[in-house]
Structure 1
Amino acid sequence: MIPTVHEDEGHRWRARYKLADEEHGHAWGVCTEVEGLFGEPQRGTYELFGWVPQAEVRGWVGGRVWLVPDDETLDPWLLEDAQSVGQPLGTDRLVLTGLDDYEGPPEGHRGRVRVHDGHHWLGSCREIARVLPSQQSAPPLVLRGLTQGDQLRAALMNGTRRALDLEQAALQIQDDQGEPLTERLLWARVSAWRPSFHGTDLIDLELDGELFTPVPEYARPIWERWFAGPPDTQGAWVGLDTRRRGAWLDLVRERACRRTHRDRPAGHAYELDGRHVTDEPGLYLALGEAVNGPGGYFGGCLAALDDCLRGTFAYAAPATLLWQDAATARKHLSQALTPDGQPYDLFGVVLDLLAEGGMRVTLA
């Protein structure tokens, strides 16, 4: 039996992290500190030759950037959290990096590719090529001050390569109030372990970092804020830029999916503060707080919003929504692009979805 808390110099500390076996459900161990949780994930790199810009592309480009081939038999390629150093002076090429799951254009693809960020066309190129990354060893994931479960203790005593391959596991994370926050899946392979200075019978367990995708460093302040517990006032996210609003929305969604929600009776009246709905993450954060209060969730994309309107997220139809300062969302979200570059009105689609879900919206 692994305790959820342990005593240290008269203070009661709660174990924030649990490494759990995904297949059998037991806990390998619990700890209060994880080294290597934050870092820089492996990013795909693309060179776009013959780049013809339609907008300046430098720094952070967008959370979802689409590369659309002229060949209509090929689907667009998604590059998440895309960045660029811009177009080097005197060259006709642009370099983009992003999280691409190692997917991209077919090997040897030749042909024009257009690029957009979901709202604006950024430019086009005559040819695109993926740059293979240099081989670099990833830092390990270290669970410090770990209280071992019986299964982990047996695996470490065995010590064989097979025993130390814990296979698919979940690093389950809770906030300082003991409530589930999120989790990260990984293939847990033990590379080393040693006694921990955190206490007697505790160990520092080192896992192979090549098998773990770290949380990006830019999201660290967001996570540290949520470690303390959910916000107690609405709009704690409004001062964030779009990239960090996306990180905030990710935690809102992941936390909500680990909680049970009691639907309110039909006929409830909601009010949405629309002053800061200047981007897509802001739309869903404001909508989530309108329905479920500070830090609340009510969809993170159109499909998720449709699911929430069907119940289980504290909503029951029919209901009413007063959308204050709706002109802000209309200005920023009316001109959007589908993955293949077709224009559509995101603000209008959201209004239609709400209406179909039994939410009567009044724009103010």
Structure 2
Amino acid sequence: MPIGSPALGSVAMTTSALSGARWLLLDDYTSEVDVTPGVCHDIDGLFVDLEPVPPPEIFSLLGCDPAGPLLKALRHMGTERAWLPSIALVPVHRPQQRPARCRQHEHGCTCDEELIDVTVVDQRPSAARAGLVDLDLRGYIRLLPEWGFPEEKPDVMGFRLAALNNEKLGECLDVTGVFRKRPAAPVRPVTLIGFRPEAPLPEVVEGRRITASVVAVQRDGRIAGGAGVLSATVVSVCPSRLGDGLLDIALDGGIEEPLPSGTREIFQMWYDGGPAEPNLWACYDRLLRHEWSGLAISHRLQGLPDKPAGTTYHLDGRFVTDIDAFYCAIGEAINGPGGYFGWNLSALDDCLGHGWGAAGPFRLVWHHSDVARRHLTPGYDRPGHRLRDWGPSVELNDLLEIFSEHDIEVELR
């Protein structure tokens, strides 16, 4: 389901209270009622130059009995066909001895791991048992410790191996290189500049913990989109040069997931009232197009009725060179400049179910569709530094299938 900013409707602040402030801190974590710790003019450390994608790692599957696509990959070592998009490692727990830290969820348990973008680089007979092999793989871990997954290997009997569609890839007795400590993400200090505390925040002093959502504010005082979660401890407090009663607050940590530095320009656009014409997103790279769509979620005008079923919309496809460009383009086709109509397949499917600007069925005229046909093709998608977003590409046919399921007529021009 598409999500927007946290419960902003519950925040009652006058335009004068927000005057000059660009950012509002909303504490919707430490109490049952949302409260506003304060507002500030700027946040140093909110926008950063992101770390590059780390180099791939080497993993070994020991005592392995490969099957399906993994077995086929072994036959093509040394070629591009010795590759798999994903290998799930599903632990086989000892009877009645599930580790205390292991918790079941709808997709498995918290001991599960997933290797992604995997190439088989070596195989050899296993010493564990005749007929089994040891495999060396080069790839990445999708689920890292900061997401709550284990650094220590669970005490298990072995691992079942599975593909994205749950197709069996075999099983193995042990793995190495997967469950281990990895360098922690760099600590990025944050400073709240020109911060004005609001009741009921106690006195801001060194050592105080602040946990709050960061919410953007427009020039006219209206609430815009969310910009992440701040969770850190106050290191120092001093009067701000921006005015009496304002503070500069240095924190020991920062935003849980900082925004790419280029996103500042997009927030500035919304601060000034939002995009005034279509395709302003087209000058950005794919990472920033994704951030554009994320901000558009909260910027949409809520409470407006959908345009009636049978309406014809025109999608400008000249700049649809990646899937995030499509989401920007469909958002503007339905809801105008800066409009939102999904930013992943699940969200698009939700938007087609009404409540996001267009009642179905409707007609979509996709101009310059040849651009998408050239770019939204089969393959493996590595959209940026966030490994959790990597996976099979979204193809033009995937989009057309979703539209068809909702009885949307699409005319490709």
TM-score by length of 1: 0.71
Q: CA deviation at 1:210?
A: 4.8
With 186-195 and 102-111 compared, the bigger mean Cα shift is at 102-111
- Give the structure 1 partner of residue 334 of structure 2: 291
SS in 1 for 2:264: helix
Query: Using the alignment, how far apart are the partners of 2:371 and 2:345 within structure 1?
Result: 19
CA contact (8 A) 1:196 1:202 kept: yes
Q: How many residues are matched?
A: 318
- What is the CA–CA distance in structure 2 between the aligned matches of 1:189 and 1:218, rounded to whole Å? 27
The partner residue of 1:69 within 87, 93, 118 is 87
10, 31, 36: which one pairs with 1:27?
36
CA pair 241-170 structure 1, distance change in 2 beyond 3 A: closer
Instruction: Note the C-alpha offset of 1:275.
Output: 1.7
How far residue 173 of structure 1 moved from its aligned partner, in angstroms, is 0.8
The structure having more radius of gyration, on CA atoms, is 2
Asked whether 1:148 is paired with 2:197, we answer yes
Does structure 2 retain, via aligned residues, the 8 Å contact 1:194–1:204?
yes
Aligned to 1:82: none
Percent identity of equivalent pairs: 29
> Higher RCO, 1 or 2 (CA under 8 Å, sep at least 6)?
2
SS at match of 2:293: helix
Matched residue SS, 1:276: coil
| CA deviation after TM superposition for structure 1 residue 72, in Å | 7.8
The TM-score normalised by the length of structure 2 is 0.63
Distance 1:276 1:314, change over 3 A: same
Render the CA deviation track for 1:196-227: whole Å, top value 9, x for unaligned: 22111222233332564321224333333333
Match of 1:278 in 2: 321
CA shift at 1:17, angstroms?
A: 1.1
AA of the residue aligned to 1:132: R
SS in 1 for 2:203: helix
| Inter-partner Cα distance in structure 2 for 1:27 and 1:345 | 39
Q: Which moved more, 1:229-238 or 1:183-192?
A: 183-192
Assess if the C-alpha contact under 8 Å between 1:174 and 1:181 holds in 2. Answer: yes
Tell me if 1:263 matches 2:306: yes
| Uncovered stretches (5+) of structure 2, i.e. residues with no partner | 1-11, 60-76, 92-111, 118-135, 165-174, 382-387
Q: What is the rounded CA distance, in whole Å, between the counterparts of 1:53 and 1:131 in structure 2?
A: 31
Aligned to 1:350: 399
Checking the alignment, whether the CA contact within 8 Å between 1:46 and 1:128 is kept in structure 2 is no
Q: Are the equivalent residues in 1 in contact too, given 2:40–2:196 (CA < 8 A)?
A: yes
Task: Tell me how far apart the structure 2 counterparts of residues 225 and 101 of structure 1 sit (CA, whole Å).
Answer: 36
**Deviation string, structure 1 residues 119-148 (Cα, Å, up to 9, x no partner):** xxxxxxx98667722686532x22222222
1:327 match: 370
1:296 to partner: Cα distance: 0.8
Asked whether the 8 Å contact 2:85–2:380 carries over to 1, the reply is: no
Q: Say if 1:243 and 1:210 are closer, same or farther in 2 by CA, change over 3 A.
A: closer
Deviations 1:305-344 (A, max 9, x none): 11001111111122111111222212222324599x9978
Contact 1:190–1:207 (CA<8 Å) still a contact in 2?
yes
Partner of 1:252: 296
Equivalence for 1:362: 411
Q: CA deviation at 1:291?
A: 0.6
Q: Distance in 1 between matches of 2:345 and 2:338?
A: 19
Whole-Å Cα distance in 1 between the matches of residues 279 and 145 of structure 2? Answer: 33
Secondary structure of the corresponding residue to residue 314 of structure 1: coil
| Whole-angstrom CA distance in 2 between matches of 1:327 and 1:192 | 56
Q: Describe the shift of the 1:324–1:143 C-alpha distance in structure 2 as closer, same or farther (beyond 3 A).
A: same
Question: What is the distance in 2 between the residues matched to 1:297 and 1:335?
Answer: 25
Residue of structure 2 in register with 1:18 after alignment? 24
Q: How far apart in 1 are the matches of 2:266 and 2:318?
A: 21
Distance change >3 Å, CA 222–CA 135, structure 1 → 2: closer
- What amino acid sits opposite 1:175 in the alignment? Q
Distance 1:234 1:208, change over 3 A: same
Q: Which residue is 2:217 aligned to?
A: 174
